[in-house]
Amino acid sequence: MSSDQMSEETAEQRTRTDQTAEQPLVRVEGLRKYFYEKDSLLDRLLGNEPVAVRAVDGLRFDVHPGETLGLVGESGCGKSTTGETLLHLQEPTEGVVEFQGENVYELEGADKNAFRRNAQVVFQDPFSSLDPRMTIGKTIQQPLDVHDVGTAEERREKVQELLERVGLSADQIDRYPHEFSGGQRQRIGIARALALEPEFVVLDEPTSALDVSVQAQVLNLLEDLQDDFGLTYLLISHDLSVIRHICDRVAVMYLGEIVEIGLVEEIFQNPTHPYTEALLASVPRASTDERDRERQTLSGDVPSPRDPPSGCRFRTRCPQVIPPDELDLDQPVYRDIMNLRELVERENISLELVSSHAEATDEGPLVDEAHIDEFVEDIKAAVLETALPPREEAVIDEALAHLATEDWDGAAEILKDRYESLCERESPSLGEGPHPAACHLYNE
């Protein structure tokens, strides 16, 4: 294909983009992807219930033609699974993905082929995603061969053109991957993804394996290619500065769900969801004021997607978790109490180590009646970080006294009665509008 034809194609794509401005290119509705553990034949024979890992749990978003939508989140939030499921590289558990108005999961024959050509992916690892025994020319040409595009001559020409376009030189066509650096290999991966002139490219951590100086080259290249070919990107990344730099809109994910979505500037300048806020605050800035920048860090780890928290999934770490109306508590105190509840509910306090008044016996730790008060004080000292107001102290003392007889449920019950949060009872929904956030603080 000559470069003239190439620019015609681009112009054509642009018009198409304009015409369908209101129509999303990709529409995702109710997308779920669960993986099942303990699902082997043996497990079934033993009667083990399969455990669902809820990697992606009910996503809804659109990708508009010509934009870059970012999916950001920490490991295990489901962002990469989302990309793969959306391209039908994985079977969805539930939900619909429409590409140009057609359900991707129901495509067959020629339509399915067209989708495969139109939607491409670039993976993170430029080292393992290229076949070491194939010349880079063959690697880039492979999709053209599979889809039987043009004559052999034309394909080779197209590959040379692509090499030049991604900043390599056409005469490198017969070289092997090991002769290239990481950044160059990622350019090769990009050339391959563009071979079939797709409209939509999923970029899955495209620069995570690269050094920052090389990352900058690749990000610049991706932006140029988007302009030249009118591409639509879904960029999956854990790196907030990359997202900020390259995306138009961003969806923030936590434990398989989108917690906030909107324009990049709005989300970075005015994050609404407490998780987004904490995530942004956590990134260390490369500037000399960084040492004095006050920031709140989140405590604890991300809970397991096998057994996500009830209600809002962020509530076990949320620094703004909502106390019951009738309580008048400072946020740090309430957060502290909620952490205590979590420990009690999971029976995660080693009583005999926390208090010298608890003695390990065969029936578990027992506390002498006379020492229950000291025992309760010991637990509070070990677990709580803030000072409690007297009224709450009384409630908590009463609850913790149950632990003297190892009555964890009794203790948990008392605490739940008084401190149960809206955030654990009800799951906040994402809502509508240009910048929705899934948090009870905003969805009244």
- State the Cα torsion 269-433-199-13 to the nearest 10°: -100
Let me know: does 10 contact 228? Beta carbons within 8 Å: yes
Looking at the Cβ atoms of 366 and 441, the one nearer to ligand SF4 is 441
Could you tell me the sign of the dihedral formed by the alpha carbons of 283, 284, 286, 292, in that order? positive
| Cα of 224 vs its chain's centroid, Å | 26
Applying the rule CB under 8 A, the residues between 156 and 195 that interact with other proteins are 179-184
**Is 244 near other proteins (CB under 8 A)?**
yes
Instruction: Report the nearest approach of other proteins to the CB of residue 191 (Å).
Output: 17
Looking at the Cβ atoms of 9 and 347, the one nearer to other proteins is 347
- Of 136, 253, 321, 358, the one binding ligand SF4 (CB under 6 A) is 321
Q: Please report, for residues 159, 229, 386, 410, the alpha-carbon distance to residue 401 in angstroms, rounded to integers and kept in the order given.
A: 74, 68, 19, 10
- Of 114, 263, 298, 388, the one binding other proteins (CB under 8 A) is 298
- Of 158, 249, 315, 335, the one binding ligand SF4 (CB under 6 A) is 315
- Of 185, 428, 430, 436, the one binding ligand SF4 (CB under 6 A) is 428
Let me know: does 259 contact 314? Beta carbons within 8 Å: yes
Looking at the Cβ atoms of 284 and 434, the one nearer to other proteins is 284
**Is 74 near other proteins (CB under 8 A)?**
yes
Instruction: Report the nearest approach of other proteins to the CB of residue 427 (Å).
Output: 22
Q: Residue 443 touches which of other proteins, ligand SF4, none (CB < 5 to 8 A by kind)?
A: none
| Cα of 129 vs its chain's centroid, Å | 22
Q: Cα(366)–Cα(48) distance, rounded to whole angstroms?
A: 34
Q: Cα(401)–Cα(405) distance, rounded to whole angstroms?
A: 8
Q: Cα(419)–Cα(322) distance, rounded to whole angstroms?
A: 10
Q: Residue 320 touches which of ligand SF4, other proteins, none (CB < 5 to 8 A by kind)?
A: ligand SF4
Backbone angles phi, psi at 59, to 5 degrees: -100, 145
- Of 84, 125, 223, 392, the one binding other proteins (CB under 8 A) is 223
Helices 408-419 and 390-401: crossing angle in degrees, nearest 10, is 150
**Is 278 near other proteins (CB under 8 A)?**
yes
Let me know: does 209 contact 182? Beta carbons within 8 Å: yes
Q: Residue 279 touches which of other proteins, ligand SF4, none (CB < 5 to 8 A by kind)?
A: other proteins
Q: Cα(179)–Cα(383) distance, rounded to whole angstroms?
A: 56
**Is 270 near other proteins (CB under 8 A)?**
no
**Is 439 near ligand SF4 (CB under 6 A)?**
yes
**Is 314 near ligand SF4 (CB under 6 A)?**
yes
Q: By CB under 8 A, which span of 12-20, 228-236, 342-350, 398-406 interacts with other proteins?
A: 342-350
Let me know: does 408 contact 343? Beta carbons within 8 Å: no
Q: By CB under 8 A, which span of 34-42, 272-280, 320-328, 387-395 interacts with other proteins?
A: 272-280
**Is 114 near other proteins (CB under 8 A)?**
no
**Is 280 near ligand SF4 (CB under 6 A)?**
no
Q: Cα(46)–Cα(57) distance, rounded to whole angstroms?
A: 28
Let me know: does 58 contact 224? Beta carbons within 8 Å: no
Looking at the Cβ atoms of 33 and 440, the one nearer to ligand SF4 is 440
Adjacent-strand bridge partners of 404: none
Q: Cα(264)–Cα(69) distance, rounded to whole angstroms?
A: 9
| Number of residues near ligand SF4 (by CB under 6 A) | 14
- Of 63, 194, 242, 415, the one binding other proteins (CB under 8 A) is 242
Q: Which of 241, 265, 125 is nearest to 183 (CA)?
A: 125
- Residue ranges that bind other proteins, judged by CB under 8 A: 74-75, 179-184, 211-217, 219-220, 223, 238-242, 244-246, 268, 278-288, 290-291, 295, 297-299, 301-302, 343, 348-350, 353-354
